[in-house]
Amino acid sequence: MSKYLGPKIRLIRKYGILPSLTVRSSKNRQNLPGEHNEEINYNTIQTTIFDEYKEHLIEKQKLRFNYCLTDNDIQHYYYKLKTLKNSQKRFLNYIEFRLDCLLYRLGFAKTILQARQYINHNHILVNNKIINLPNYICNLYDIISINKLKKNSKKVVYITYLNIKNQRQKLLQNIQDKKLFKYKVQKLLPSYLEIHEESANLYGCIINYFNYKEALVHIDELKILQLYSLY
């Protein structure tokens, strides 16, 4: 299956919160898409499944759409995991350390699709080397920075980062005031990433291993593995 180019709000109404897909929300349309729609209840949307296969498929689709992946991408990670016997690595270990996902988590881009555009146009450096592959898997202590030769994009990334930084400060204040919805915690900077703001440079660093409690979406990876084992 190719990339999804349809309306993104429709996906959010169907699968629940997908933080990295779009900055828009579905507040004005609180029902499931389709002719026979129902009012959305995000707490029960995963438990009202009649078919076991459909339940497995929904978990895969949540992973696919939130991280803007194709079925071939997920299948590639499945075979990669299959070769690692007795390993603790899972889908999100690979996906959350993709370069496009890390740019989004650092706050250098509003969505993963925007982060992917920066990478494709040679705006991003990893350890001072240009990387133009969005699916590039970063490692511990890698440094992610903006290409100095791309002055216009550097300004855009910095302005985007400042806006997201202000949003995160407001979210932290709401946490203290206990006014924060649980899913919005995922918009904060994860503990395994660190941002350095210098006079002329803005860069991020991976300082620890991925923490599953800080995943963008909570997915039952066992169901995805069971789904792909049928093929």
Structural domains of the chain ordered from first start: 8-92+219-229 (1.10.1050), 102-214 (3.10.290.10)
- Identify whether the C-beta of residue 142 lies closer than 8 Å to the C-beta of residue 127: yes
Question: What does the alpha-carbon distance between residue 159 and residue 153 come to, in Å, rounded to a whole number?
Answer: 10
Structural tokens at position 81: 């995991």
Q: What is the pLDDT of residue 47?
A: 47
pLDDT score recorded for residue 1? 46
Token pair 């900055």: residue: 23
Alpha helices in 84-218 (DSSP H): 91-95, 99-106, 112-120, 151-176
State the Cα–Cα distance between residues 219 and 91, nearest whole angstrom.
Answer: 10
Return per-residue pLDDT of the chain as tens, 231 residues.
Answer: 466 666 666 666 666 666 556 655 555 555 555 555 555 454 555 444 457 787 888 888 888 888 888 888 888 888 888 887 655 567 888 889 999 999 999 989 988 888 999 999 999 999 999 999 999 999 999 999 998 887 777 888 888 888 888 888 877 776 665 554 444 556 788 899 999 987 678 899 999 998 888 888 888 888 888 888 876
203 in Cβ contact with 196 (< 8 Å): yes
Asked if 118 and 124 touch (Cβ cutoff 8 Å), the reply is yes
Task: State the pTM of this model.
Answer: 0.77
Which residues make beta-bridge pairs with 146?
124
